[in-house]
Amino acid sequence: MLEIRVWDEINKKMIQVDAINYWNESIENEDTQQIPFTDVIIMRKSSYKDKNGNFIYEGDKLKLLDKNKEEIIIVCSYGKWKRRMDSGEVVEIEGFCFLLENTPTFPIIKNYIKKHDTEIMEIIGNIYEK
> What is the tens place of the pLDDT at every residue in 103-125?
777 665 555 555 667 778 899 99
Q: Which residues pair with 116 in a beta bridge?
A: none
Contact 65, 124 (CB under 8 A): no
9, 43, 101, 110: CA torsion to nearest 10: 160
Q: Residues 18-43: pLDDT tens digits?
A: 889 999 999 988 777 899 999 999 99
Q: Which of 49, 46, 118, 33 is nearest to 79 (CA)?
A: 46
- Cα separation, 77 vs 46, in Å, equals 9
Better pLDDT: 72 or 107: 72
Mean pLDDT value across residues 2-8: 89
- Output the pLDDT for position 102: 73
